[in-house]
Amino acid sequence: MIETYATRKRFFYQWLRIALVGLIGLRISGLWLLEPTPPVSGAIGLTMILVLFLWPVLRQDIKGCLWLSFVSCLFFTTAVLNAMTEGREVFGIVESVLAASVFIASMFFARNAYRELEATAEASAQEPTSDTQ
């Protein structure tokens, strides 16, 4: 069972890394792609929130990934607003798909990582010790 959780965790970790880097890249490229151009301070400032989560994701920190899933809802909201704005439809749709991917991948990564920890702890608790002789 531990191997199943570890395999799922690796899959969602890869998915999370790709989606997070893609979302950061898309948001930065929005400075050149969007018309009218968004304010640089606002676009970069909001994107820096995502950049701050790169370290917890690279460390595979469960709590950091859970927080990232909550923060990604903010980016999903702005993506939907972009999708409803004339001239930004495609950008908003791609951004909303990436933000939803970050949310789903981070939630499933955290779920499987936590279950792997529980299964490992349970397996080590059931091992007989040599001290009882």
100-119 pLDDT tens trace = 999 999 999 999 999 999 99
Average pLDDT value for residue range 20-47: 88
**Cα separation, 123 vs 111, whole angstroms:** 18
Q: pLDDT digits over 58-84, tens only?
A: 999 999 999 999 999 999 999 999 999
**Cα separation, 106 vs 23, whole angstroms:** 14
pLDDT band at residue 131 using 50, 70 and 90 as cut-offs: low
Average pLDDT value for residue range 76-98: 95
* Block residue for tokens 């304010």: 39
What pLDDT shows up at residue 132?
54
What pLDDT shows up at residue 133?
52
Q: Which of 8-17, 53-62, 119-128 has the lowest mean pLDDT?
A: 119-128
What pLDDT shows up at residue 59?
97
Sequence-distant (≥ 6) Cβ neighbours of residue 12 within 8 angstroms: 105, 106, 108, 109, 112
Name the pTM for this structure. Answer: 0.88
